[in-house]
Structure 1
Amino acid sequence: MSLITDSLIVRGARIAYRDHGEGEVVVLIHGTPSHSYEWRAVVPRVEQAGYRTIAYDLLGYGSSERPVAADTSVAGQTELLGAVLDGLGVTQATIIAHDIGGAIGLRFALAHPERVRRLMVLDTVSYDSWPSSTWQKIIDEHLDDYAGLPQDELDQLLTDQLRMTVHDTGLMTGETLQAYLAPHQSAVGRASFFEHQVRHYDSTYTEEITDQLGTLAMPVRIVWGEQDQWQPVAYAHRLHADIPGSELVVIPEAGHFVMEDAPERVAGEVLRFLGD
């Protein structure tokens, strides 16, 4: 199921997005290696509960444009988030954000607290938690010569990584696995994956906001898969300790893509957060 229905031009680049429903605005930001597809089990439930939901593919990801010279770092994507909201006429929203999306959400909430009503981060990168050891190995071995990497080898590399994102590896097969692989199965897709995603796996963007986490004033909920192999749950507890008044929810038998292992639980946590 693709969530994407429309496109808009933001700062000269095409952003693929979905904007449905009425009421309080909820913006969902995906992680990497991913796109808005990861929210397919969550967005319909939030819409049905009476909220206006906006999900979009980050610049250089999914169905959004992949400009060669674009800044698709966490910092660049944070600025883009503000421009996307402006383009859709949104002054304030609740942000639900996963993985690097969580870093984007945290940075945006710190820079523009008046625009963030609530913030939920799920299995987010933080502090010095990224890139994980397996991604660092990929960076070391392939970032400078990915042009020569055959498609089948990239597919296998991504498949191995994606199966690490779920506690139940049987979930990352068939149509689901193919949906995550699809954006990278072309020459442009391969180049974009390394240039727009992997090249920006850099903890500088999270380490430089560590001292500011205590100033977050809006409600914050931290949701984490207990079996996350990329972002160990210890980071969830550290964030919880550093963000005053935050709530922490640890979901058992779930990995980094917690919305794949426990879609109903994640949707329920989002709705409870919105209802608090």
Structure 2
Amino acid sequence: MTFLTDHLIVDGVRLAYRDRGRGAPVIFVHGTPSHAYEWRDVVPHIEADGFRAITYDLLGYGRSERPVDRDTSVAAQTDLLEHLLDALDVDRADIVAHDIGGAIGLRFAVAHPERVRRLLIIDSVSYDSWPSPTWRRIIDENLDDFTSMAQDEFDALLTRQLKMTVADESLMTGEVLRAYLAPHRSALGRVSFFEHQVRHYDSKYTEEISDELGRLAMPVRILWGEQDRWQPLHYAKRLSTALPDAELVTVPEAGHFLMEDDPGRVVEEIRDFLTAPDDALVPGV
């Protein structure tokens, strides 16, 4: 399945993206271990609702460029998001962001609040919530050793992790599982996964903005799977307390990849959030 349709050069690197619709701009930022494929059952509905939906693969992920000597950390991806919006002539947008995409969205909102109308984050990393024990062990041992894994061994490792992202593990099988594994089905893809993703799993990128979250003035909705095994619900509650205009919505029987467990609910929440009057988004009003 081809979800992203085009490529563009942004700040000297190539990004794969999709830009459809003519309404108010909404940008979707994916997480890890993932790529924009995770939005396939969500974004077309938002496009059909009359929004300009912009979806892209982060640098080093999916079908975007995998540069040898370019920083692909959360901080660098945040800077690149600014360049992407400039390249697409978007002054201000709504942001819908998942996992490390949530950290990118929060960092962008802190740095450029005037460019974010509303922010919806889904099962986001935050504070000291990441990396997970498995990835921390891999980072702490010798990351370079893992870059030379055989394909079968790598597939088994990533499959185990991907099955943890859903409450219903039967959803992470067959064509869907193959699509998540696809960007890494080569020696380059395996090395890229560890160099562009795992190497940058570092909570410093969320901890260093923790004290600044309280000054965000735009409406925020926090959407969370109650059975998230990577980002426990107490982090969502902590975020909702720290963000002054935040609303927390939890989804039962859903895990970290909420868009796989319950894409219909995700569409419903995004649609409601983007179209609600401003005063309806203030908690307690």
User: Aligning the two structures, in what range does the TM-score lie when normalised by the shorter sequence?
Assistant: over 0.9
Return the letter of the residue paired with 1:48.
A
The corresponding residue for 1:14 is 14
Report the alpha carbon displacement of residue 147 of structure 1 after superposing the two structures with TM. Answer: 3.4
Q: Tell whether 2:269 aligns with 1:260.
A: no
The aligned counterpart of 2:71 is 71
Q: Secondary structure, in 3 states, of the residue corresponding to 1:144?
A: helix
1:134-192 deviation per Cα after TM superposition (whole angstroms, max 9, x unaligned): 22123234512123311100000000000000000000000000000000111110111
Counterpart in the other structure of 1:25? 25
- SS of the residue aligned with 1:148? coil
- The CA deviation at 1:2 is 2.8
Question: Structure 1 vs Structure 2: percent identity of aligned residues?
Answer: 67
- Equivalent in the alignment of 1:144: 144
Structure-to-structure mapping, 1:23-102, within 5 angstroms: 23-102=23-102
Instruction: Return the letter of the residue paired with 1:34.
Output: S
Contact 2:218/2:245, CA 8 A, preserved across alignment: no
- In structure 2, how many angstroms separate the alpha carbons of the residues matched to 1:145 and 1:13? 28
The corresponding residue for 1:275 is 275
Q: 2:283 maps to what in 1?
A: none
Deviation of the 1:54 alpha carbon: 0.2
Partner of residue 220, structure 1? 220
Q: Secondary structure at the match of 1:121?
A: strand
Gaps of 5+ in 2: 277-285
The CA distance in 1 between the partners of 2:274 and 2:148, in whole Å, is 47
- C-alpha deviations, 1:48-88, integer Å up to 9, x for none? 10000000000000000000111100000000000011111
Distance, in Å, in 2 between the alignment partners of 1:67 and 1:147 is 16
Contact 1:100 1:124 survives alignment (8 Å): yes
How big is the alpha-carbon RMSD for the aligned residues of Structure 1 and Structure 2? Answer: 0.8
Q: For 1:153 and 1:220, locate their aligned partners in 2 and report how far apart those are by CA, in whole Å.
A: 40
The alpha carbon displacement at 1:11 in A equals 1.2
Match for 2:108: what amino acid? F
Aligned position for 1:105: 105
For residues 99 and 147 of structure 1, the distance between their equivalents in structure 2, rounded to whole angstroms, comes to 23
Q: What is the aligned partner in structure 1 of residue 190 from structure 2? A: 190
Give the aligned partner of residue 203 of structure 1. Answer: 203
Q: State the 1:3 CA deviation.
A: 1.7
Q: In structure 2, what is the equivalent of residue 163 of structure 1?
A: 163
* 1:232 paired residue number: 232
**CA displacement, residues 112-155 of structure 1 (integer Å, 9 cap, x when unaligned):** 01100000000000000000112212323451212331110000
Runs of 4+ in 1 over 4 A off after TM superposition: none
Distance 2:154 2:227 in 1: 25
Letter in 2 for 1:127: Y
TM-score under structure 1 length normalisation: 0.99
TM-score, normalized by length of structure 2?
A: 0.95
Q: Residues 2 and 40 of structure 1 are in contact (CA less than 8 Å); yes or no, is this contact kept in structure 2?
A: no
Q: Is the Cα–Cα contact under 8 Å of residues 4 and 18 in structure 1 kept in the other structure?
A: yes
Equivalent residue letter for 1:205 = Y
1:19-65 CA-partner distances (Å, limit 9, x unpaired):
00111000000000000000001101000100000000000000000
* 3-state DSSP of counterpart to 2:147: helix
Whole-Å separation in 1 of the counterparts to 2:118 and 2:37: 23
Q: Which residue of 2 aligns with 1:243?
A: 243
* Post-superposition CA distance 1:207-254 (Å, at most 9, x none): 000000100110000000000000001000000000012100000000
C-alpha distance in 2 between matches for 1:148 and 1:274? 44
Q: Secondary structure at the match of 1:68?
A: coil
Matched, 1:134 2:134: yes
